Amino acid sequence: STTLLIGKTNEISAGRVGVGIPTVTSYKGQAGTGIVWMTDPNASIRAWSTVPNNGILQPLRIPQVGGAVKFQRPSFGNTRLYTTDSTACPGRRSNRYITCTANIAITQLLGMTVGDSHFQVSNSSLPTGKLNAGQTFNIPVTWNLTNTKVSNSASASLGTVTPGIVSTPLTITTVNGVAGYTTSLPVSLFGTEVSQAPFLSLSPPTIAFAAITLGIAGESITTTATFSISNTGNRTMKIIDYAYTYNDTSDPSAVWYNATQYSNGTWDLGTGIYSSDLPTIGTNFSTSYSQVVDTSFTPILGTGLYMAYLMAYTNGGNKLITLEGSASTAPVANISFNNSENGWDDVTKDLNPLYDFGPVLAGNSSITQVGICNAGGSTLEITKSKPPSGVLRAEYPGSELSESQTIQPGNCAHAHVIFSPNAEPVDVWDSYILLYL
**Domain range for 377:** 333-436
- Total structural domains within the chain: 4
pLDDT of 383: 87
One domain, residues 187 and 220: no
DSSP label at residue 271: T
Selection from 12-16, 18-22, 219-223, 306-310 with the highest mean pLDDT: 306-310
Q: With cut-offs at 50, 70 and 90, classify the pLDDT of residue 81.
A: low
One domain, residues 320 and 223: yes
CA angle 281, 283, 284 (to 5 degrees): 145
One domain, residues 240 and 293: yes
One domain, residues 73 and 93: no
One domain, residues 163 and 266: no
| CATH number, position 180 | 2.60.40.10
pLDDT tens-digit map of 251-287:
889 999 999 999 999 999 999 999 999 999 999 999 8
One domain, residues 211 and 318: yes
Q: What is the mean pLDDT of residues 324-347?
A: 86
One domain, residues 176 and 222: no
One domain, residues 226 and 178: no
One domain, residues 101 and 166: yes
One domain, residues 10 and 127: no
One domain, residues 212 and 323: yes
pLDDT of 104: 94
Average pLDDT in the chain: 84
Domain end call among 145, 172, 193? 193
One domain, residues 101 and 123: yes
Domain end call among 64, 83, 102? 83
pLDDT of 239: 96
Selection from 133-142, 156-165, 199-208 with the highest mean pLDDT: 133-142
pLDDT of 194: 76
Q: What is the mean pLDDT of residues 163-184?
A: 87
Question: Does residue 89 have a pLDDT over 70?
Answer: no
CB 189 within 8 A of CB 119: yes
pLDDT tens-digit map of 103-125:
999 999 999 999 888 899 999 99
Question: CB-hemisphere CA count at 13 Å for 93?
Answer: 13
| CATH number, position 356 | 2.60.40
Region of residue 240 (left: phi > 0; alpha: psi -120 to 50; beta: else) = alpha
Question: Does residue 387 have a pLDDT over 90?
Answer: no
Question: Does residue 164 have a pLDDT over 80?
Answer: no
pLDDT of 360: 80
**Cα–Cα distance, 80 to 99 (Å, whole number):** 27
Question: CB-hemisphere CA count at 13 Å for 26?
Answer: 9
Region of residue 152 (left: phi > 0; alpha: psi -120 to 50; beta: else) = alpha
Domain end call among 54, 83, 112? 83
pLDDT tens-digit map of 46-68:
888 888 887 888 887 665 555 56
**Cα–Cα distance, 191 to 169 (Å, whole number):** 12
